[in-house]
Chains A and B, each alone.
Chain A
Amino acid sequence: MNKRDFLKDAILFFPAAATLQALASSAEGSAGPARTPSDYDATKHWYGMGIDVDKCIGCNRCVEACKAENDVPEEPFFFRTWIERYQIHANGETTVDCISTREAQPEQAAPEDPTVVRTFFVPKLCNQCAHPPCVQVCPVGATFQTQDGVVLVDAERCIGCRYCIQACPYGARYLNPKTRTADKCTFCYHRITEGLLPACVEVCPTEARIFGDLKGRADRLVRFHRVNPISVLKPDLNTEPKVLYAKLDGEVR
């Protein structure tokens, strides 16, 4: 190959590689090149999360990662995300507990309960509703929906009236005792606008959480939505959640 041919190929190769990489990263829905906020266009995204209920093993790593990443108080009264455990008994009864409120993980597995016929874990977080009741009730507009579909709280403006906490049907909000303002999951907005994944998704060992962009054509979340039977929590309240659960049991509220 002479110098001229090499340059000719290089001119073709580099843009093509960049295009392929961009396609791959959008297909992956993650780990794209780090973007600066200045070239981030919020109108081009509509974020959501998929939860594959069958894949969650209840390791609680997402909860710990979330608390560390977002400076959530460690006390077991404040959660941006948490894991619920459902146990279906032979007589049809269901018992539920929250494994994230435990002070420490049990060393040994609990003795097997013969009446339990089925058990599963359900990760919960803010549903980033497309039609959010919390935004509707905020008296000062401190909680708002971004153009890319994430519901955020402006801690500089929030007056701490707690009306949004009352209005949330999912118990996803709390009053942060340090800032005295309402607080909740942001989908790690500081990360996703940089092309990174939310902390809980990043650490999940079984890929039970799929973060993605519902506007992205070849996005993982779009594919997840297409191939799985999807439910959302409390659909009768018409909040239009963007956290999509695959294979969700009807017992879960």
Chain B
Amino acid sequence: MSDGIPASLHEQLSHQLSQVVGFIYPNEVETQWAILIVVYPYITGIVAGAFILASLVKVFNVVEVQPIYRLALLTALAFMLVAGMPLQLHLGHPERAYEIFMTPQPTSAMAMFGFVYLWYLMGILLIEIWFEYRQQLVLMAQQARGVMKGIYGALSLFSKDVSPEAIAFDKKASKFVTIIGIPSAFLLHGYVGFIFGSVKANPWWGSVLMPIVFLMSAIVSGIAMVMFLYILISLLRNEKLDMRCLDRIGLFLLVAIIVDFALEALDYIHRIYQSEESIGILSQLVSSRLFTSMVIVQLLLGMLLPLLIIVFIRITRVNEDVRKLLYFTSSLLILVGIFSMRWNVVIGGQLYSKSFRGLMAYKMEITGIESLMTALALLALPFIILTVLFRLLPPRWMEKNAAAAVP
């Protein structure tokens, strides 16, 4: 019987076939987009969200959030550098990926990914970070010795000018890039939503609200990630947190969760009320296959619980240590909740048959390319990159002490 298909694939598909309930089209046994495609929108969402948080400082002059401005930018960059990897690894022919740039098909939402990604990375993020750090890089290049002198010199692109006019220009340029950056961040993640939302064959995905739901959940996850990192780093470094900043981030997070919740609720109310052909199988999907990941993790633990915690903080004004702990807990819960949301969209959309007559199953591999291990590695990688970036480009709120030490 074996026809030269890999034994692991055969085993996975046989298992998935044995779990089928009802009738499915025979080609639907295989889960085409698996765990790596769950990781991909999760990571790009954090990029877009962190950037939008950073832009609040520059464009809307929210001074309280200034202390995390650089942290947010570097978080966006660290995740951005990893964003393309799950896609690349997922391809049947990764060596042909360049074709997306060479012969892009204009009607394909996916073909535009490469361009949106490059534009955001090269056109927005790197330029904004460069202007933000240029003055500091010039100074560091002057102070450093040996290899580091060369590295900082190269990073500053060998610019030397730290005159007040030049610094004023840096500020202006950085603000200008941020203004273009906001719609670009919207584009980056809204477009990821469009990849799913435009699939008319799949009613679980095909919703006009999808790009906007993706965008709002991206903002939620980006803010939560920066909050998480801010608290974590201050703990690791034993530094005092700026509580005004943290409360302000908490407020933004609260607003973002409420909007996200309202949009998702609208999506489901709309589906239930319209009650189209697919409603039967979709209800079955949510109440069986997705019950834990959607109702318990995404909705109750990942959205409503943190929402209540933040409301509690704002009403009671408990002391700083408790507040920190509660913020930390809610940011973690939200990060897990948004991950389940990506799971429920990507995997959920492939757990019911397009014949609307049956449910499939997905058995995640532990090792291999499309596996849990790869997903964990990809999720850990941004934190490693971030550690390197912190060494290279110290965020201002940490550098304050260092600057005080230098006469």
Which residues does A use to contact B, with CB under 8 Å?
73-79, 82, 84, 95-98, 100-101, 103, 124, 133, 135-142, 157-163, 165-175, 177-181, 237, 253
Give 4 nearest A-B pairs by CB, closest first.
A160-B92, A171-B25, A180-B92, A169-B201
B357: contacting residue among A74, A166, A253, CB under 8 A: A253
User: Can you list 18 residue pairs at the A/B interface with Cβ under 8 Å?
Assistant: A75-B5, A77-B13, A77-B26, A77-B27, A77-B29, A95-B23, A101-B17, A101-B26, A137-B110, A141-B103, A158-B92, A160-B93, A161-B90, A163-B108, A171-B27, A175-B92, A180-B92, A181-B93
Q: Nearest Cβ distance between residue A144 and chain B, in whole angstroms? A: 9
- Identify 4 new A-B residue pairs, CB closer than 8 A, beyond the known A79-B27, A140-B103: A139-B104, A140-B105, A161-B92, A175-B30
Task: Give the complex CA separation of A153 and B353 in angstroms.
Answer: 23
Q: Which residues of B contact A101 (CB under 8 A)?
A: 17, 26
Q: Which residues of B contact A124 (CB under 8 A)?
A: 25
Task: Give the complex CA separation of A140 and B93 in angstroms.
Answer: 12
Question: Contact between A139 and B108 (Cβ–Cβ < 8 Å)?
Answer: yes
B355: contacting residue among A76, A96, A100, A172, CB under 8 A: A96
- Is B202 an interface position by the 8 A CB rule? yes
Question: Contact between A74 and B105 (Cβ–Cβ < 8 Å)?
Answer: no
Q: Contact string, B55-67, partner A, CB cutoff 8 A, digits 1/0?
A: 0000000000000
Q: Which residues of A contact B9 (CB under 8 A)?
A: 177
Q: Nearest Cβ distance between residue A36 and chain B, in whole angstroms? A: 30
- Is B320 an interface position by the 8 A CB rule? no
Task: Give the complex CA separation of A127 and B22 in angstroms.
Answer: 23
Q: Which residues of B contact A76 (CB under 8 A)?
A: 17, 26
Question: Contact between B100 and A159 (Cβ–Cβ < 8 Å)?
Answer: yes
- Is B164 an interface position by the 8 A CB rule? no
Question: Contact between A180 and B93 (Cβ–Cβ < 8 Å)?
Answer: yes
Task: Give the complex CA separation of A170 and B373 in angstroms.
Answer: 33
Task: Give the complex CA separation of A51 and B108 in angstroms.
Answer: 32
- Is B154 an interface position by the 8 A CB rule? no
Given contacts A140-B104, A172-B27, contact A163 B96 (CB under 8 A): no
Which of chain B's residues has its CB closest to A162's CB?
B32
Which residues does B use to contact A, with CB under 8 Å?
1, 3-6, 9-10, 13, 17, 23-30, 32-33, 87, 90-94, 96-97, 99-100, 103-105, 107-111, 113, 195, 198-202, 350, 353-357
Which of chain B's residues has its CB closest to A96's CB?
B23
Task: Give the complex CA separation of A158 and B9 in angstroms.
Answer: 20
Question: Contact between A157 and B32 (Cβ–Cβ < 8 Å)?
Answer: no
Which of chain A's residues has its CB closest to B202's CB?
A166
Q: Nearest Cβ distance between residue A84 and chain B, in whole angstroms? A: 8
Q: Nearest Cβ distance between residue B40 and chain A, in whole angstroms? A: 12
Question: Contact between A159 and B96 (Cβ–Cβ < 8 Å)?
Answer: yes
Q: State the main secondary structure of chain A at its contact with B.
A: loop
Given contacts A96-B23, A170-B354, A180-B93, contact A136 B108 (CB under 8 A): yes
Question: Contact between A170 and B25 (Cβ–Cβ < 8 Å)?
Answer: yes
Q: Which residues of A contact B93 (CB under 8 A)?
A: 158-160, 180-181
Q: Nearest Cβ distance between residue A57 and chain B, in whole angstroms? A: 19
Given contacts A137-B110, A159-B99, contact A166 B32 (CB under 8 A): yes
Q: Which residues of B contact A170 (CB under 8 A)?
A: 25, 354
Task: Give the complex CA separation of A100 and B27 in angstroms.
Answer: 11
Question: Contact between A169 and B354 (Cβ–Cβ < 8 Å)?
Answer: yes
B6: contacting residue among A98, A163, A177, CB under 8 A: A177
Q: Which residues of A contact B4 (CB under 8 A)?
A: 73, 177-178
Q: Which residues of B contact A75 (CB under 8 A)?
A: 1, 3, 5, 10, 13
Task: Give the complex CA separation of A128 and B374 in angstroms.
Answer: 37
Question: Contact between A160 and B104 (Cβ–Cβ < 8 Å)?
Answer: no
Question: Contact between A139 and B110 (Cβ–Cβ < 8 Å)?
Answer: yes
B27: contacting residue among A78, A137, A139, A161, CB under 8 A: A78
Task: Give the complex CA separation of A96 and B113 in angstroms.
Answer: 39
Task: Give the complex CA separation of A248 and B27 in angstroms.
Answer: 22
Question: Contact between A157 and B10 (Cβ–Cβ < 8 Å)?
Answer: no
Task: Give the complex CA separation of A76 and B5 in angstroms.
Answer: 12
Task: Give the complex CA separation of A144 and B405 in angstroms.
Answer: 65
Q: Which residues of B contact A163 (CB under 8 A)?
A: 108, 110, 195
Task: Give the complex CA separation of A167 and B164 in angstroms.
Answer: 56
Question: Contact between A162 and B28 (Cβ–Cβ < 8 Å)?
Answer: no
Question: Contact between A159 and B91 (Cβ–Cβ < 8 Å)?
Answer: yes
Q: Nearest Cβ distance between residue A70 and chain B, in whole angstroms? A: 13
Q: Which residues of B contact A171 (CB under 8 A)?
A: 24-28, 353-355
Question: Contact between B201 and A157 (Cβ–Cβ < 8 Å)?
Answer: no
Question: Contact between B33 and A73 (Cβ–Cβ < 8 Å)?
Answer: no
Question: Contact between A141 and B27 (Cβ–Cβ < 8 Å)?
Answer: no
Question: Contact between A178 and B5 (Cβ–Cβ < 8 Å)?
Answer: yes
Task: Give the complex CA separation of A175 and B6 in angstroms.
Answer: 13
Task: Give the complex CA separation of A141 and B108 in angstroms.
Answer: 9
Question: Contact between B355 and A253 (Cβ–Cβ < 8 Å)?
Answer: yes
Task: Give the complex CA separation of A169 and B277 in angstroms.
Answer: 14
Which of chain B's residues has its CB closest to A94's CB?
B357
Which of chain B's residues has its CB closest to A101's CB?
B26
Q: Nearest Cβ distance between residue B24 and chain A, in whole angstroms? A: 8
Question: Contact between B200 and A133 (Cβ–Cβ < 8 Å)?
Answer: yes
Task: Give the complex CA separation of A74 and B5 in angstroms.
Answer: 9
Given contacts A96-B23, A161-B91, contact A237 B5 (CB under 8 A): no
Which of chain B's residues has its CB closest to A134's CB?
B201
